[in-house]
Structure 1
Amino acid sequence: MTNRLTLLARTSLTALCATSLASSALAGELNILTWEGYADPSVIAPFTAATGCEVSATYVGSNDDFAPKLAAGGGVFDIVTPSIDTTYSLIEAGFVDPIDISRVPAFNDIYEQFRTADGILKDGEVYGIPYAWGAVPFMYRKDKFDTPPTSINALWDPALKGRISLWDDKSALYVAARLNGDMNIYSLSDDELAAAEEKLIEQRPLVRKYWATAGELVDLYKSDEVWISNTWGGYQSGLLAADGIEVVEFIPDEGAEGWMDSNMIVAGTPNEECAYQFLNMAISAKGQEGVFKVNGYSSTNPVAAKEFMTDEEFSALHQDDPDYLNSLLLWENLGARLPVYTNAWNAVKSQ
């Protein structure tokens, strides 16, 4: 997987205008609520130089962070980047505005299955511009395993007590459910959810720490505290490789979840023009290259990806393999079941 690299700040206005950025500087400021790596200076600095739009970023550690922060009000944020299991709930709550697709010319270059995803559509209108996608695989330190793990069950191995970590997120229930053989992870019955909760409570004494941010998990591996975990595919492994720590990502026998993040415009933003400039930049070759180089994630715009990826990189990230995406359990909105899942996860952590 690609290591974290520093991008050159190539700020030619001519090149940026080709990606639908403004030809003259705007006066504005964008506050975005997003994930680590999505507002890297290597991407933001050229964007600001070309548009005059200053960008400030606040990072989340879970999709559960978006709604509470937007509900706090005050017009703090202009753009949010939630995952596909969270987008629709923000639409229904009125936290985001529909997007005028005529102002985003490259929208039709995005993979059809992303731009037509139910999670970003309502009443014939589009509310999100797909930005990046990938899997939630598992990862282990290569020097700690004589036999490579192939199953989620490795995270329940008593021999690894104190060396295990899981993301501090309700998706831990998806992991346990799959281990129980329940593959309908987004529509678990009360009994199935209780079984997943019980499985996680059983695992609790083995867990060194539930990781909340990408950097926290990286630090746990670097300090030799954690040897195996789930991970944001491509990102943490790249950061660790840059520090000389060899880790291996794998899709377990029980399958893996998939995700897709979209940029959305917060309702009533006073910085609408800058917001649209940002949306266009994010799916241009420059923006897609940024998330690829910094996070190691796959691009939602394959046309743009071909401009900066080698054929080998394009293939390695499954950009030419729709069957791979279809094999993933793409996150879904839990709807009315969200509080039930959330309560179950909180019950696990309270042990």
Structure 2
Amino acid sequence: MNLIRKFAIGALAAISALPNIASASAAELNLLTWEGYAADGFVSKFEAASGCKVTASYVGSNDDFAAKLAAGGGVYDIITPSLDTVPMLHQAGFVDPIDTAKVDGYDGIYPEFSKSRAVVADGETWAVPLIWGSVSLIYRPDKLPSTPDSIGVLFDPANKGKISLWDDKSAIYWTARYLGYDNVFDLSDEQLEAVKAKLIEQKPLIRKYWASAGELTELMANEEVYVSNAWTGLSSKDVNALNKGFKVVEFTPKEKAEGWMDSMMIAKGSPNTECAYKFISFMQSAEGQCGIAGSTGYFPVNPKAVESCMNADMKKERQVNNVEFVKSLVMWEQPKRLDKYLEVWNAVKAAP
């Protein structure tokens, strides 16, 4: 029995041992989500229109969703994992299927996302696309002697102590691309060993693995870090808005940037499905799509919804109707051997 299957069974056992977990009232909605995904600017509009009170808890990594659901650390109605995590959550039994007939605006979502094999599986729809974007590299041009063009900047000894990296298994994807592997989601044992060795070799260069966009912003604002991977649009906007006397710049490495899409899933046995479907529908509206895009700097999944709330320049910046940009990215997928990837990443973090 592989590691992820063992984890799923253990997680479900943990949930079954918590009989009082579903205790919220029908007028509440509890989100387990990312920073910026429950900003008051648009959530308050939803609350006023729906009568549903929103409470949000936040994650720093996709690995947090299963762990928090298994631990029973609260009542969660909607979770918003990325594309490479959606399959594991439904396979583990953490979520209920989605009735798309209850989602207003569903037909306006890019079919490349709504019909993804990660979203639609086993004859059911398990998630509703919410927002998408890319992961690029961010750096201080005043601190680096030349303009970088490669992931290699994260492995350069000249930047020792000033490098950061997201604390997530996706560090494997970055390193695999840097080593020249194209099959980043289906690495062989030999390739995974090479990736692990490279990441362990890199560790003395790392100032800190960041857990959230806010933490990376602080690391850069406090001049502890000069270069890192980062959520495209969000981190540079937040750091530069602090007016610290320097600017950070994003770039797409020659090995390509990563692409992701976050979706809304309904937690298994949620007592608040009425509010959940209202929220999922709201997030496909102009207020929802432009609201979350505005709070994060990311890209809307529903081009029809933003027709009236984004001007031409904003649509261009946020890649509206630019499906070709999606094709230019290494879009996240659940690794074929997720258990092995988790083992490697945990071994890297445990290494001295």
Aligned to 1:320: 321
- Of 250-259 and 313-322, more deviation after overlay is shown by 313-322
Alignment of 1:14-33 (within 5 A): 28-33=27-32
Aligned to 1:277: 278
Aligned to 1:222: 221
**TM-score when normalising by structure 2:** 0.89
Aligned to 1:195: 194
Give the counterpart letter for 2:96 in structure 1.
D
Distance 1:192 1:324, change over 3 A: same
1:259 alignment partner, SS class:
strand
2:307 alignment partner, SS class:
helix
**TM-score when normalising by structure 1:** 0.90
Contact 1:75/1:269 (CA < 8 Å) preserved in 2? no
Alignment of 1:239-258 (within 5 A): 239-244=238-243, 245-258=246-259
Q: CA deviation at 1:27?
A: 5.6
Give the counterpart letter for 1:305 in structure 2.
V
In the alignment, the residues of structure 2 paired with residue 51 and residue 185 of structure 1 have an alpha-carbon distance, to the nearest angstrom, of: 43
Aligned to 2:83: 84
Query: Stretches of 4+ moved more than 3 A in 1?
Result: none
Aligned to 1:134: 133
In the alignment, the residues of structure 2 paired with residue 305 and residue 297 of structure 1 have an alpha-carbon distance, to the nearest angstrom, of: 13
1:309 paired to 2:322: no
2:231 alignment partner, SS class:
coil
1:345 paired to 2:345: yes
In the alignment, the residues of structure 1 paired with residue 202 and residue 224 of structure 2 have an alpha-carbon distance, to the nearest angstrom, of: 17
1:307 alignment partner, SS class:
coil
CA deviation string 1:261-304 (max 9, x = no partner): 00011121111110001001111111111111110000000111
Length, aligned pairs only:
325
1:119 paired to 2:118: yes
1:229 alignment partner, SS class:
strand
Alignment of 1:288-299 (within 5 A): 288-299=289-300
Contact 2:26/2:274 (CA < 8 Å) preserved in 1? no
2:82 alignment partner, SS class:
coil
1:157 paired to 2:142: no
Contact 1:140/1:228 (CA < 8 Å) preserved in 2? yes
Aligned to 2:22: none
In the alignment, the residues of structure 2 paired with residue 116 and residue 211 of structure 1 have an alpha-carbon distance, to the nearest angstrom, of: 32
Contact 2:26/2:271 (CA < 8 Å) preserved in 1? no
Q: CA deviation at 1:127?
A: 1.4
Aligned to 2:234: 235
1:131 alignment partner, SS class:
strand
Q: CA deviation at 1:75?
A: 6.7
Contact 2:83/2:263 (CA < 8 Å) preserved in 1? yes
Give the counterpart letter for 2:232 in structure 1.
G
Contact 2:61/2:168 (CA < 8 Å) preserved in 1? yes
Contact 2:26/2:272 (CA < 8 Å) preserved in 1? no
Q: CA deviation at 1:87?
A: 0.6
Give the counterpart letter for 2:120 in structure 1.
L
